[in-house]
């Protein structure tokens, strides 16, 4: 079946696919289908990344790497109780308020099952604990099994899972988009669309470009470490999603970025100090081309750049992130215009690096 798509349809296909950290195979297969005919070579990767090379015309020996991660937040099955409920370990962070009552998909890529995350009803919780988030040890996954024996027909200890969530465009003219896994299937979609545009005019590229769809970012960014050591790029552009906190009640000083004002360019975060010249080039290209772009205003988070920057003898890095509301939940929300602006900026920056390479 041909699953090649573009725009919102491409985002939908990628976001709805199952791919928590360590289970990126289905996402990788979908990406390979969508980049077919838009690269010169696939570079083998033992960690499971998809690395596609577009060769330049040989006028420069520089190498540029574009990076986005395929994996999404998730959890792992650690015990199946006698009553059929499933205990799990979370890869979603410490805040369990985003979990209770959510629909989930659990199993492995070849045998996925639907379920919900269950917890005690509020009237059975001690009054002193009712305003506290339940610890993950008090949450369970209910797949509809009435016993351990029945549950084990479908789920095994060590299986993975993630949220199940609809893909929805809403707001005036569908300006906002809600889905799971926009962190970072958005970056993957952007790179696919960039590859298609760049490959059509690759004879104008002076240098080789590597598009690295990395794995395991949500659990330590090991995929990016291996990919960047293999590629040994001179420049790297990382495409991500970032928290925004652009809602009522959050002080202006604590806001990271604003949806609808373009991709957020990082100066520094918890893992990386970005290359000043490359950051200035990105911002300068955006202004010259009249592409919406903003500065990430708050020092927070991190991404694959923290490992890419340290690869081999060092890599000049820049990161451009889509402002994303409610990130790391079942309902990530972005502005469609930000995605479109980031796609335009990716192509424009590659053209400019070409001239400076």
CA–CA distance, 160 with 254 (Å, rounded to integer): 34
- Length, in residues, of the chain: 357
The residues near 38 (Cβ < 8 Å, ≥ 6 apart) are 52, 54, 192, 195, 196, 199
Q: Which stretches of 153-311 are assigned E, i.e. beta strand?
A: 160-163, 168-170, 176-179, 208-214, 235-243, 263-265, 293-295
Q: Are strands 103-108 and 86-90 parallel, antiparallel or unpaired?
A: unpaired
CA–CA distance, 23 with 109 (Å, rounded to integer): 7
Q: What's the DSSP call for residue 325?
A: B
CA–CA distance, 217 with 302 (Å, rounded to integer): 10
CA–CA distance, 170 with 161 (Å, rounded to integer): 27
CA–CA distance, 235 with 314 (Å, rounded to integer): 9
* Terminal C-alpha separation, the chain: 40
* Angle (CA) 46 190 285, round 5°: 115
Helix (H, G, I), strand (E, B) or coil at 210: strand
- In sequence order, the β-bridge partners of residue 265 are 295, 320
Cβ neighbours of 263 (radius 10 Å): 30
CA–CA distance, 336 with 339 (Å, rounded to integer): 5
Torsion from C-alpha of 59, 60, 61, 67, nearest 10 degrees: -120
Helix (H, G, I), strand (E, B) or coil at 217: helix
Q: Which of 351, 299, 306, 277 is nearest to 67 (CA)?
A: 306
The catalytic residues are 217
């Amino acid at each position: 079946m041909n699953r090649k798509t573009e725009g919102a349809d491409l985002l939908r296909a990628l976001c709805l696919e199952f791919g928590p950290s360590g289970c990126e195979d289905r996402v990788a297969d979908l990406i390979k289908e969508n980049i077919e005919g838009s690269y010169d070579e696939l570079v083998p990767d033992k960690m499971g990344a998809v690395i596609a090379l577009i060769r330049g015309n040989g006028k420069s020996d520089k190498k540029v790497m574009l990076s986005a991660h395929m994996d999404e937040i998730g959890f792992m099955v650690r015990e199946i109780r006698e009553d059929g409920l499933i205990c799990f370990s979370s890869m979603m962070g410490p805040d369990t308020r985003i979990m209770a009552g959510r629909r989930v998909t659990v199993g492995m890529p070849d045998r996925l099952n639907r379920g919900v995350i269950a917890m005690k009803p509020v009237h059975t919780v001690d009054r002193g604990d009712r305003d506290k988030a339940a610890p993950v040890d008090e949450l369970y996954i209910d797949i509809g099994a009435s016993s351990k024996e029945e549950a084990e027909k479908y789920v095994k200890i060590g299986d993975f899972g993630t949220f199940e969530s609809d893909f929805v465009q809403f707001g005036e003219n569908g300006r906002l988009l809600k889905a799971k896994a926009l962190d970072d299937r958005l970056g993957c979609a952007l790179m696919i669309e960039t590859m298609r545009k760049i490959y059509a005019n690759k004879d104008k590229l002076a240098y080789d470009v590597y598009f690295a769809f990395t794995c395991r970012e949500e659990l330590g960014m090991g995929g990016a470490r291996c990919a960047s050591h293999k590629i040994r790029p001179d420049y790297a552009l990382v495409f991500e999603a970032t928290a925004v906190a652009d809602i009522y009640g959050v002080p202006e000083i604590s806001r990271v970025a604003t949806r609808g004002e373009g991709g957020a360019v990082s100066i520094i975060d918890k893992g990386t100090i970005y290359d000043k010249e490359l950051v200035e080039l990105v911002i300068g290209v955006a202004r010259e081309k009249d592409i919406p772009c903003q500065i990430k205003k708050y020092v927070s988070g991190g991404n694959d750049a923290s490992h890419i920057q340290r690869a081999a003898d060092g890599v000049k890095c820049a990161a451009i992130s889509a402002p994303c509301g409610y990130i790391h939940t079942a309902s990530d929300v972005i502005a469609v215009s930000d995605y479109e602006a980031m796609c335009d900026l990716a192509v424009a920056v590659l053209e400019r690096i070409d001239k400076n390479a």
